[in-house]
Amino acid sequence: MGIKERQIRDRETVRRAILDAARELFVAEGFHNVSIRKIAERIEYSPAAIYGYFPSKDDIFFALAEEGFRLLGDPGTPLRQTALQALPPLARVRAVFWRLYEFSREQPQYFALMFVDRSVPRISREYERFAFAREMKLHIAQEIQACVDSGVLPASTNPVVAMRVLMVGLLGVAVMRLSERLAPGENADHLAADVLNTALAGLQSGVALQSTAAIACPLDDKIVDAQAS
């Protein structure tokens, strides 16, 4: 390994340490309560060294949020992706939203930071950086529209509103599980499945939705700027 390659590797190692320490601190203490100095102390570096990697605490959050969304949207192996595309439209929608709940189990720190902490910066400030997250939103809406086109969901179904309903239901279960608000012996996975299946059944029945597309967004509005959709 040459000097340049070693320098790149070492820099990435430090960057990774900064992000890991910041993620843990943000989740444990809240974004507002964590300073660059506190992050530096966790990895035994000087605050000045941190600024050599990230201009501000907000930039550290944006890097973590970007990682989180990429983990959330990871399509998995080509074989898994092919299997997903082979499913009927409604089963694809169920799988897409179940992935959101799986993400809360697999990556609880990222999930808490992205969907629970109210003090984090709005990623709408980084419009271009999070273009892929808006593409995720569009893909979900298209999957729901495919259900409408195939007749599985009523023609009156607004894909954006339906997306919001399904998302909020699963986020609610995930937050209850992470905050340990479930009843003794209650199975969070079963509850999440019941919420998803019940919501989908309600949509299939043609239940009138009172929400409007103007407020709908598949990700919390502090994560994706709804007006940019």
Predicted pLDDT at 190? 98
Give tens-digit pLDDT for 24-51: 999 999 999 999 999 999 999 999 999 9
* CA 39/CA 198 separation, integer angstroms: 43
Which one of 1.10.10, 1.10.3470, 1.10.357, 1.20.140 gives the CATH number of domain 71-228? 1.10.357
Residue in the structure block whose two tokens are 């070693």: 6
pLDDT at 120 over 90: yes
Predicted pLDDT at 12? 95
* Greater pLDDT, 81 or 175: 175
Report residue 154 as tokens.
């009523």
Q: Where are the domains of the chain?
A: 3-55, 71-228
Q: What kind and span of H or E run contains 174?
A: helix 159-178
Percent of the chain with pLDDT over 70: 90
Give tens-digit pLDDT for 124-144: 788 788 988 889 889 999 999
Report residue 39 as tokens.
């992050």
Predicted pLDDT at 224? 37
User: pLDDT-based confidence at 6, cuts 50/70/90?
Assistant: confident
pLDDT at 89 over 60: yes
- Report the predicted TM-score, pTM, of the whole model to 2 decimal places: 0.85
* CA 88/CA 85 separation, integer angstroms: 8
Phi first, then psi, for residue 8 (nearest 5°) are: -65, -45
Which one of 1.10.150.20, 3.40.50.2300, 1.10.10.60, 1.10.1140.10 gives the CATH number of domain 3-55? 1.10.10.60
Report residue 90 as tokens.
């409604």
Helix axes 3-29, 36-43, angle to 10 degrees: 120
Is residue 218 a contact partner of residue 167, using CB atoms and an 8 Å limit? yes
Can you say whether residue 77 is alpha, beta or left, with left for phi > 0 and alpha for psi between -120 and 50 degrees?
beta
Is residue 161 a contact partner of residue 213, using CB atoms and an 8 Å limit? yes
Is residue 90 a contact partner of residue 152, using CB atoms and an 8 Å limit? yes
Predicted pLDDT at 192? 98
Burial of 20 (0-12, 13-18, 19+ CB in 10 A): middle
* CA 51/CA 139 separation, integer angstroms: 36
Average pLDDT value for the chain: 89
Same fold, 3-55 and 71-228: no
pLDDT at 91 over 50: yes
Q: Which of 151, 189, 143, 142 is nearest to 170 (CA)?
A: 189
User: Taking residues 6-24, what's their average pLDDT?
Assistant: 94
Q: How far does Cα 117 stand from its chain's mean position?
A: 13
Q: What kind and span of H or E run contains 202?
A: helix 188-205
User: pLDDT-based confidence at 77, cuts 50/70/90?
Assistant: low
pLDDT at 215 over 70: no
Predicted pLDDT at 119? 93
* CA 101/CA 219 separation, integer angstroms: 13
Report residue 63 as tokens.
């890097």
User: Taking residues 54-59, what's their average pLDDT?
Assistant: 96
Residue in the structure block whose two tokens are 């506190």: 38
Predicted pLDDT at 15? 97
Predicted pLDDT at 21? 98
* Greater pLDDT, 217 or 99: 99
